[in-house]
Amino acid sequence: MTNAHRMCVAFTVATLSTAAAVIYVLFAARRRKQHKSSPCYLHSEQKPQCAAFKRVVADNSYTPFKHLINDDENASNSHPYEAEITALLKNPLPEIELGTEIADLEMKDSYVWVHTEMQLKELVDVLSEERFFAVDTEQHSLRSFLGFTALVQISTREKDYLVDTIALHDFMGILRPIFANPSICKVFHGADNDIVWLQRDFHIYVVNLFDTSKACEVLSKPQKSLAYLLETYCGVTTNKLLQREDWRQRPLSAEMVHYARTDAHYLLYIANCLINELKQLDNENSSSDDKFHFVLEASRRSNMICLQLFKKEIEASPGESSALSLFSRRVSSHGFPSISNEAQIQNIVRQLCTWRDLMARIHDESLKYVLSDQAIVALASQPSASHSEIYNTIAQADINMEMGVNPLIPSPSPVVCSHLSDIYHLLANKLDNDIYSVILQKCLGQNGSCPLSIFNYALLVNSNLRPTLAYKQPGPKNPKQYSRKASRDLFVKKFSCKSAVYHNCRIYANDGRLLCYCDRRKLEWYLSRDLAKLIDEEPPAIMLLFEPKGRPEDEGNDFYIQSKKNICVGCGEGNHYLRYRIIPSCYRIHFPEHLKSHRSHDIVLLCVDCHEVAHAAAEKYKRKVAVEFGIPLYLQRVVHPGQKTEKQIEERGVSPLQLRTAAMALLRHGPRMPLNRHEELTEIIKRYYGGREISDEDLERALQVGMTPHERRRFEKKRGFSFKHSIGNTATVQKQDNHSSCTAGMSNVDVDTLKVDAHDGSYGNEETSEVDREHLTREDDFENSTLASDITVNGTASATSNRNMITVETTDYNESSDSAINVDDSCLSSRQENGLSEHNSKLSLLGHGPHGKRVVEYLLKEYGEDGIRAFCQRWRQVFVDAVNPRFLPGGWDVKHSGRRDFGKFSVYNPDKRGAAAST
């Protein structure tokens, strides 16, 4: 090879190498540029819901869902067919009859694909002639924020129909009258989700439902899945993995069509078999005195599902609940290695969740499609990152998932690739605090990068109604409003339930009938004592191995055999809630044991706002009760036992609140007080002691009149005071600081667990919460108040009523007198020796325990237990009128009787309590 030829080759190689390097640099720069500012992927990708849907019932905005208005009287937040469904619950059809058994069980090859408006109207004509038909639905949720129904399967005895709800989305309302017709029975399996999906997408409401899953519950089947029923009754197996397929695709594959038809085709036959078994049990049970109608019970439980209403999850801040959940789960288990500032971590996680929530709504994508939880954790661990590092971090985090990468979800997602610069600026803290406005304007504003759609248009229109972000701190325009919000947030954080209240575990009798729903701890109580066997894992269910005393249906307690949701019963808020006692404790504490032991019916969950409304109404009604019965709410005077004066009680007594305040002020600041103020407070204390000179020891004694043991311990710890003359073992009641507000916003917060009446297997029907042992022992000591007053009641309270005043003389207990509340410690042993009931001693000088006690005594004396039940119904009506609850559990009723029987070994059995007292 000549030198010239070698030089030519070398030059060519160098040229090609240089060109390749230039091309690579240009390509890399172009890719980085695309990551920084690429157009929204929706411009090139057309999603089926955006192309086919012209109008939607539920958009992606933060506005509440509006239900169908059936007539002028129905509001958009109530069930439009509540009257029809309630009529079926109260007076169910005499018998569910699906007709003769289906002889030809084989599924033929032919079916009807309904995809035009004309075909849908023809289907309505066919269904209107049927007395029953089977229904199933398939939903798509990965590429949609709220999800949408992609297919509806309907089967009659003759044909199978597959309704293309994507093509017919805007015309599905044609089916509404058929589904709402109470004379046509609709057969579903596990209809809880189907019911709300049909409401959400088409305003279709189901009336007259038979759910084969509920029939399995009544029959105590070992399983209640549709796959189990298909294999048991039809000998058919299905591939449930097909449920996760993309049901948006058209045409559907032959395998998907077969799966969809199978779910509905055999349902009528399965229902017929289950009904025959229910009827057989009815016949076997016909001679029993407490006859249980199995068929009617299955029908009633099925129709209870129809009362469910779809609601959009609306948070106080976009993505707030996701952020709190993610932060608590990840920080507690894995931690964030590179950041030590917890507040900074929480702020990054919250902002990323806010961005993800807004992106999902704008692009109509699910949260997990936009950005995975593990990617958020990874990004929060290294917030200062370049565009390429962000890109690689997300991809690597998704690869490292324990369950592997979902092939249907690209990583990073097209949303992230199109808006990578937003994440960069957010992590670099270059994005304004008001992320909502910035993102909304950038994506959907006048020059927005993302296309408008029927799903995100409402976000732009209602942008002036956007929620206030929790981390936004612009400086309050109104200090009082800001203070109120901060106080509310603190109250929610401190007092709201920290875990789910209702676990919805089930307890069955030994004959397979459902007794109640309860929490896991109660199930464990039975299992640990070999009193029951586990029959289902999730949610847990047990069957008792003995005959329990009483049945909920026998005692009119349908409420206890319904599952309950952990949401506010007033507005549906699910992010926080508190327990609220509908019957104020100042009355309920004095009810006979057998009337107050079964109390979960009158303890509901309320958010802070609904709680405030309910409490205000309760306080107002208490004043009405006080006027009606002539029994004042509060004690107005207390008198020390050492007084020997003959003056009238009302002249020589002193307000218990005044006494406590004066004693505390003198103990803390007496020597430093102005002389006139010192003398004024000293006169109050002297008036309590009958005018004699007082000492520090007297101040300590006076202070105990209005102080709980807990408050004494806390005060002693903080201030160093040691109360040498403590009363001893005292009955504890809740705290109260003024006469006008008995609870200051948390009156009926139930911080204790509900009693488990499990000694004899009597059904408890109560969900409990995880609380400490102290709360278990102080269950009935909580009054409706917020500042504590603790007294030792060694005698019984004598209240001298003088219109608006009750005077209590605190004298030593005397066997010949029942009118003493003792604030001294001298007679504690004498009270115990006399065997006086500790329960009757739970009276609060500062609260209105005596008021409640006298009201209950009057009702029992004049009207007996019927008077107590009527009194409870009045309080329930007050609650309903004030809160207008829309999410009460099924079976909740203002006229709930509260009647129940107790077994031989029950702690509430009157005979057992009497025997215990005598010993």
Which of 200-214, 457-471, 735-749 has the weakest average pLDDT?
735-749
Mean pLDDT of 68-97: 74
Distance (Å, whole) CA 619 – CA 457: 44
DSSP sequence for 625-668: HHHHHT--SS--EEE-TT----S-HHHH-B-HHHHHHHHHHHHH
> How long is the chain?
919
750 burial class (0-12, 13-18, 19+ CB within 10 angstroms)?
buried
pLDDT at 694: 86
pLDDT at 483: 58
Distance (Å, whole) CA 314 – CA 467: 9
pLDDT at 919: 53
Distance (Å, whole) CA 516 – CA 523: 11
Closest residue by Cα to residue 682 from 665, 704, 700, 701:
665
How far apart, in Å, do the first and last CA atoms of the chain sit?
121
Distance (Å, whole) CA 739 – CA 508: 47
Which of 295-304, 768-777, 899-908 has the weakest average pLDDT?
768-777
Which of 12-16, 290-294, 825-829, 862-866 has the weakest average pLDDT?
825-829
pLDDT at 321: 78
Distance (Å, whole) CA 233 – CA 502: 34
Residue 587, number of CB atoms within 10 A of its CB = 25
521-533 burial, b at 16+ Cβ within 10 Å, e below that, comes to ebbeebeeeeebe
Q: Which residues contact 456 (CB under 8 A, 6 or more apart)?
A: 59, 60, 61, 361, 362, 363, 364, 444, 450
pLDDT at 718: 61
pLDDT at 175: 97
Q: Is the Cβ–Cβ distance between 591 and 839 less than 8 Å?
A: no
Q: Is the Cβ–Cβ distance between 360 and 367 less than 8 Å?
A: yes
Q: Is the Cβ–Cβ distance between 216 and 536 less than 8 Å?
A: no
Q: For residue 368, is pLDDT > 80?
A: yes
781-818 burial, b at 16+ Cβ within 10 Å, e below that, comes to bbbbbbbbbbbbbbbbbbbeeeeebbbbbbbbbeeeee
Q: For residue 125, is pLDDT > 50?
A: yes
**Phi (first) and psi of residue 754, to 5 degrees:** -85, 145
Q: Which residues contact 480 (CB under 8 A, 6 or more apart)?
A: none
> Please, which pLDDT band fits residue 833 given cuts at 50, 70 and 90?
very low
Structure confidence by residue, pLDDT tens digits, 654-705:
777 788 788 888 888 888 888 888 888 988 888 888 788 888 888 887 877 7
% helix, strand, coil for the chain, step of 5: 45, 10, 45
DSSP run (H or E) holding 532: strand 532-536
DSSP at 731 = B
Closest residue by Cα to residue 364 from 146, 79, 205, 622:
146
Query: What radius of gyration do the chain's Cα atoms show?
Result: 34
Q: Kindly give the pairing relationship between strand 532-536 and strand 514-518.
A: unpaired
Closest residue by Cα to residue 300 from 440, 91, 585:
91
Mean pLDDT of 282-294: 70
Q: For residue 1, is pLDDT > 60?
A: no
Distances (CA, A) of 832 to 590, 725, 827, 845: 20, 19, 9, 21
> Please, which pLDDT band fits residue 410 given cuts at 50, 70 and 90?
confident
Closest residue by Cα to residue 57 from 195, 172, 135:
172
Strand partners, 470: none
pLDDT at 244: 82
Q: Kindly give the pairing relationship between strand 578-581 and strand 541-544.
A: unpaired
Q: Which residues contact 313 (CB under 8 A, 6 or more apart)?
A: 321, 574
DSSP run (H or E) holding 263: helix 254-265
Of the chain, the percentage scoring pLDDT greater than 70 comes to 66
Q: For residue 356, is pLDDT > 80?
A: yes
> Please, which pLDDT band fits residue 562 given cuts at 50, 70 and 90?
confident
196-220 burial, b at 16+ Cβ within 10 Å, e below that, comes to bbbbbbbbbbbbbbbbbbbbbbbbb
What token pair was written down for 815?
């066997």
> Please, which pLDDT band fits residue 28 given cuts at 50, 70 and 90?
very low
Q: For residue 88, is pLDDT > 60?
A: yes
Distance (Å, whole) CA 280 – CA 287: 13
What token pair was written down for 803?
């219109």
Distance (Å, whole) CA 55 – CA 41: 23
Q: Kindly give the pairing relationship between strand 148-155 and strand 132-140.
A: antiparallel
Structure confidence by residue, pLDDT tens digits, 224-253:
899 999 999 998 988 878 888 899 999 999
Q: Is the Cβ–Cβ distance between 77 and 69 less than 8 Å?
A: no
Return the top range by mean pLDDT from 621-630, 696-705, 752-761: 621-630
Query: What's the gap between Cα 348 and its chain centre?
Result: 28
Q: Is the Cβ–Cβ distance between 433 and 472 less than 8 Å?
A: yes
Return the top range by mean pLDDT from 59-73, 122-136, 453-467, 869-883: 122-136
Considering the chain, what is the average pLDDT of its residues? 74
DSSP at 467 = P
Give the SS3 label for residue 135.
strand
pLDDT at 318: 79
Q: Is the Cβ–Cβ distance between 465 and 63 less than 8 Å?
A: yes
Closest residue by Cα to residue 318 from 206, 196, 437, 403:
437
Domains of the chain, each with CATH number or no CATH: 81-307 (3.30.420.10), 320-468+480-492 (1.10.150.80), 656-718 (no CATH)
Q: Could you give the residue ranges of the DSSP H alpha helices within 692-839?
A: 696-703, 709-719, 773-777, 828-833
Residue 713, number of CB atoms within 10 A of its CB = 12
pTM above 0.75, yes or no: no
